[in-house]
């Protein structure tokens, strides 16, 4: 299982802004992050599934 930091997630989503990413999380368009220590991380497999679904 690979986790993405916020910066990695931004890059994967094409430079999407912080506010847009958190809005998409709240609206259910992106999966919720997992808190490890004091930082948030996203499961890369879940992000890939969302991206594949949006392309199809």
Domain ranges of the chain: 3-55
Q: Is the pLDDT of residue 56 over 80?
A: no
SS3 string of 1-51? Answer: CCEECHHHHHHHCCCCCHHHHHHHHHCCCCCCCEEECCEEEEEHHHHHHHH
pTM: 0.89
Q: What is the dihedral of CA 53, 56, 4, 14, to 10 degrees?
A: -130
Q: Which residues contact 16 (CB under 8 A, 6 or more apart)?
A: 10
Both tokens assigned to 35: 């808190």
Q: Is the pLDDT of residue 55 over 90?
A: no
pLDDT digits (tens, 9 = 90+) for 12-46: 999 999 999 999 999 999 999 999 999 999 999 99
């Amino acid at each position: 299982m690979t986790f993405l930091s916020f910066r990695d997630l931004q890059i994967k989503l094409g430079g999407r802004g912080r506010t847009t990413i958190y809005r998409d999380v709240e609206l259910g368009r992106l999966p919720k992050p997992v808190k490890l220590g004091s930082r948030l991380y996203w499961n890369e497999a879940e992000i890939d599934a969302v991206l594949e679904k949006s392309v199809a």
